[in-house]
């Protein structure tokens, strides 16, 4: 086994390098991704290796970035577009939801537009407005798209490659506050199927389902819960659309208690979908209602108070308390 | 500014055939139509007449409840046939949803075009067969696709010399209208095309009306003038003059092919009919305005030219009518005979790769539908 320690950011960079090296039709497009290497340096150095025709510094325009990516995909290219920040994806919302997602359906299955859209997402970085959002549910509601959110370097390295190889469009949400989180990357043995959830900490008494930036929070909460004598299982969803309900159901049938947590607002979020599915699939196994722990129903708050907004270890422990007290 | 008076359109327009059917010479563009002989002219007339006949039949089918909607193009035949006939089969076309005439020039079979409007398909035909993309209902959403496609063409042709580009180079045509000209995606597609010098021709049919909103609300300057802001040429052409449209589009495509970048063509024309069959132009425009455009009808103009110069005889015009009627009958017959689509097939077309939710919901759907079959059988045997 050959493992290398990398930050999550470096792992995506290395994964993109592999994609570009492996598929001459693949290319990157986005704002400032070439010479600058992206505002988070995720594409750092790639323009030197692959040139400006394959690492395209685009004009500033998200609809243009996604729209031209769709056009290139129609002619056999495999574009990986970068949206600079979560809150800036909305100028491209029309292209993503009415065009990218529906191309295969509209062509009656003849062809699709296998574009990957990378979006650094989530809060906790003390940033200004529109730089800390979690819009994944808005895309999960759109058939035709797939959504991935890696939580660690190994997954990030492999999942970006799996996203690029996927014949369906993929929105790849990168947990920006974990970009500098280091982890072991096994560059020989691929990560599991990107669309399968993974039990990353086994437990017996309750299950926490999460993804992206909150995975370390869930793991820490599970560790802390041990002090109360509670054995908590943690599932990293990895794919937000489709959702691997089988893995979740299996866990809940064992533990009987489920907490779903994400940074995105609770209302209308991924947690609600999981709660509903689990109630359909494992109603008689549930010892307590499924608890959703997400953001409040407000625009993402100013940085000075974002810690009160975001789910954290204490909030997860409180949710566990509520579940066990039921 | 009032909405009743338009500038005299002959001004500042490239025109090679006057509304009276007289050929006008043009130092720059005559060279682009030197090959146009009597047979080609008759072909253009025939294309336009068949397109108009198809449009009439589809409108009738909608009125008879056989189509959910129809998007008429009467008045825009020259803009569509002239530009479509300027393309090569290897060029890729991104149409709006009104490009039935362009479709004819790309050999898309007319009945297939009705599948969208009969509620059978959201695509209609295989775009790869004729390099004619599906109709896009979200206005201007196809524009950045065209630029992106042209960027891909550039990459495929990297390293080609000028001679090879001129001979085998491909180009892309992005159609849009005066209505969609105000959409942000038109702007972004033009910015990107300019930035990367992409081989794309932006072809705007300015038919004067965005449903009920007149052109002067969409733009305070001729649309072609906007090209200067992007740094590529813009040109206004008489959109009801098939020769001028052909010449200008050939010029623009040649230029794009050679790697000289995009062009914006504004074909000034008029939507003689309604926006769609759900529209009522009497609510927002004057009959006098419509009347004023009858004299500029693109078919009448070419017919006059053919007749006055003895380039077509009466038998030709009669045959065009007969062929049109036969085509219309076939369109009607085939459209009425389309097999119904199946929702199960819709499940299959959402994703390329296996998807658990699709599988689960398809299974449920099939079981649910099968349940009705069982009930009927039980009822029948009881």
User: Does A177 map to a domain?
Assistant: yes
CB contacts of B131 in chain A (<8 Å) are: none
Are B114 and B87 found together in one domain? yes
Cα–Cα distance measured from residue A81 to residue B148, given in angstroms and rounded to the nearest whole number:
12
pLDDT score for B381: 47
pTM: 0.96
CB A187 within 8 A of CB A161: no
Torsion of CA A2, A4, A8, A10, to 10 degrees: -110
User: Does A257 map to a domain?
Assistant: yes
Across B300-325, average pLDDT: 98
Find the length of chain B: 382
Among A24, A51, A68, A165, most B C-beta atoms within 10 A, so best to mutate, is A68
Are A34 and A71 found together in one domain? yes
Across B278-288, average pLDDT: 91
Q: Where are the beta strands (DSSP E) in chain A?
A: 3-7, 26-30, 55-57, 78-82, 116-121, 146-148, 170-175, 182-186, 198-201, 206-210, 232-236, 239-241, 258-265, 291-295
User: Does B18 map to a domain?
Assistant: no
Parent domain of B367? 343-381
Single residue among A165, A186, A207 that ends a domain in this structure: A186
Q: Is the pLDDT of residue A98 over 90?
A: yes
Judge whether B183 is closer than 8 Å to chain A, CB to CB: no
Provide the number of structural domains found in chain B. Answer: 2
Token pair, residue A247, equals: 């893995």
Q: Would you please indicate which residues of A are annotated as catalytic (active-site) residues?
A: 131
Are B147 and B254 found together in one domain? yes
pLDDT tens sequence across A219-262: 999 999 999 999 999 999 999 999 999 999 999 999 999 999 99
Residue ranges in chain A assigned as alpha helix (H):
8-22, 46-50, 62-74, 93-94, 103-106, 136-140, 153-165, 215-225, 245-255, 270-281, 306-309, 313-325
Cα–Cα distance measured from residue A246 to residue A239, given in angstroms and rounded to the nearest whole number:
13
pLDDT score for A241: 98
Are A37 and A141 found together in one domain? yes
**Smallest CA–CA separation between B132 and chain A, in Å?**
12
Nearest alpha-carbon partner for B35 in B81, B72, B85 = B85
Judge whether B352 is closer than 8 Å to chain A, CB to CB: yes
Token pair, residue A304, equals: 């000075």
pLDDT score for B12: 80
User: Does A191 map to a domain?
Assistant: no
pLDDT tens sequence across A306-325: 999 999 999 999 999 999 99
Are A67 and A112 found together in one domain? yes
Are B226 and B374 found together in one domain? no
Parent domain of A305? 198-325
pLDDT tens sequence across B176-228: 999 999 999 999 999 999 999 999 999 999 999 999 999 999 999 999 999 99
pLDDT score for B246: 98
Average pLDDT, chain B: 94
CATH number of the CATH domain containing A132 = 3.40.50.970
CB contacts of A106 in chain B (<8 Å) are: 122-123, 134
Judge whether B146 is closer than 8 Å to chain A, CB to CB: yes
User: Does A193 map to a domain?
Assistant: no
pLDDT band with cut points at 50, 70 and 90 for residue B62: very high
Q: Is the pLDDT of residue B126 over 50?
A: yes
β-pairing verdict for B234-238 and A146-148: unpaired
**Smallest CA–CA separation between B59 and chain A, in Å?**
23
pLDDT band with cut points at 50, 70 and 90 for residue B373: confident
User: Does B11 map to a domain?
Assistant: no
Provide the number of structural domains found in chain A. Answer: 2
Q: Do B188 and A64 touch (CB under 8 A)?
A: yes
Among A30, A105, A108, A115, most B C-beta atoms within 10 A, so best to mutate, is A108
Cα–Cα distance measured from residue B151 to residue B197, given in angstroms and rounded to the nearest whole number:
8
Q: Is the pLDDT of residue B8 over 70?
A: no
Nearest by CB: B149 against A71, A95, A112: A71
Single residue among A139, A156, A186 that ends a domain in this structure: A186
Q: Is the pLDDT of residue B11 over 60?
A: no
CB A67 within 8 A of CB B141: yes
């Amino acid at each position: 086994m050959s493992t290398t320690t990398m930050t999550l950011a470096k792992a995506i960079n290395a994964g993109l390098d592999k994609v570009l090296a492996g598929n001459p039709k693949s290319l990157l497009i986005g704002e400032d991704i070439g010479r600058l290497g992206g505002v988070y340096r995720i594409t750092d150095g790639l323009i030197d290796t692959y040139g400006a025709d394959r690492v395209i510094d685009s004009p500033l325009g998200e609809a243009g970035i996604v729209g031209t990516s769709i056009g290139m995909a129609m002619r056999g290219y495999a574009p990986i577009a970068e949206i600079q920040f979560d809150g800036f994806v909305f100028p491209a919302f029309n292209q993503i939801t009415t065009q990218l997602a529906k191309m295969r359906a509209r062509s009656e299955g003849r062809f699709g537009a296998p574009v990957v859209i990378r979006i650094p997402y989530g809060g906790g970085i003390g940033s200004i407005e529109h730089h800390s959002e979690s819009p994944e549910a808005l895309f999960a509601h759109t058939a035709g798209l797939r959504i991935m959110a890696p939580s660690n370097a190994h997954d990030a390295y492999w999942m970006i490659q799996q996203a690029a190889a996927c014949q369906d469009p993929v929105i790849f949400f990168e947990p920006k506050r974990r970009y500098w989180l280091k982890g072991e990357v096994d560059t020989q043995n691929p990560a599991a199927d990107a669309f399968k959830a993974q039990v990353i900490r086994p437990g017996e008494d309750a299950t926490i389902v999460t993804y992206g930036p909150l995975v370390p929070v869930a793991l820490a909460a599970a560790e802390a819960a041990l002090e109360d004598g509670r054995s908590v299982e943690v599932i990293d969803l990895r794919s937000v659309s489709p959702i691997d309900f089988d893995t979740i159901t299996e866990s809940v049938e064992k533990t009987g208690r489920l907490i779903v947590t994400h940074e995105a607002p609770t209302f209308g979020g991924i947690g609600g979908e999981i709660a509903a599915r689990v109630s359909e699939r494992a109603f008689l196994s549930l010892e307590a209602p499924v608890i959703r722990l997400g953001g409040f129903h407000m625009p993402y708050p100013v940085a000075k108070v974002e810690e009160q907004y975001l789910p954290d270890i204490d909030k997860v422990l409180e949710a566990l308390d509520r579940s066990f007290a039921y | 500014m009032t909405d009743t008076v338009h500038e005299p359109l002959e001004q500042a327009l490239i025109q090679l055939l006057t509304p009276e059917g007289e050929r006008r010479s043009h130092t720059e563009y005559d060279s682009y139509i030197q090959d146009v002989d009597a047979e080609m002219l008759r072909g253009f007339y025939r294309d336009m007449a068949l397109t108009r006949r198809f449009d009439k039949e589809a409108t009738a089918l909608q009125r008879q409840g056989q189509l959910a909607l129809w998007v008429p193009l009467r008045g825009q035949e020259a803009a569509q046939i002239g530009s479509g006939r300027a393309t090569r089969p290897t060029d890729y076309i991104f149409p709006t949803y009104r490009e039935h005439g362009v479709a004819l020039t790309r050999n898309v079979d007319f009945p297939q075009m009705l599948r969208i409007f009969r509620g059978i398909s959201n695509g209609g035909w295989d775009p790869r067969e004729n390099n004619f993309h599906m109709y896009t209902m979200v206005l201007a959403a196809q524009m950045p696709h065209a630029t992106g496609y042209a960027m891909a063409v550039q990459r495929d042709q990297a390293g080609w010399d000028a001679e090879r580009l001129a001979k085998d180079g491909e180009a892309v045509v992005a159609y849009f209208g005066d209505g969609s000209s105000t959409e942000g995606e038109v702007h972004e597609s033009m910015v990107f095309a300019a930035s990367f010098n992409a081989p794309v021709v932006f072809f705007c049919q300015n038919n004067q009306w965005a449903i009920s909103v007149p052109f002067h609300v969409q733009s305070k300057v001729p649309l072609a003038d906007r090209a200067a802001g992007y740094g590529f040429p813009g040109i206004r052409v008489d959109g009801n003059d098939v020769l001028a449209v052909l010449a200008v589009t050939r010029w623009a495509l040649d230029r794009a092919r050679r790697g000289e970048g995009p062009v914006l063509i504004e074909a000034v024309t008029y939507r003689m009919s309604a926006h769609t069959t759900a529209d009522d132009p009497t609510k927002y425009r004057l009959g006098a305005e419509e009347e004023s455009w009858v004299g500029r009808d693109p078919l009448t103009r070419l017919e006059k030219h053919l007749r006055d110069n003895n380039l077509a005889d009466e038998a030709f015009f009669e045959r065009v009518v007969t062929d049109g009627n036969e085509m219309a009958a076939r369109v009607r017959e085939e459209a009425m005979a389309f097999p119904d689509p199946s929702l199960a097939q819709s499940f299959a077309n959402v994703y390329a790769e296996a998807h658990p939710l699709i599988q689960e919901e398809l299974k449920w759907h099939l079981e649910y539908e099968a349940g009705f079959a069982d009930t009927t059988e039980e009822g029948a045997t009881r």
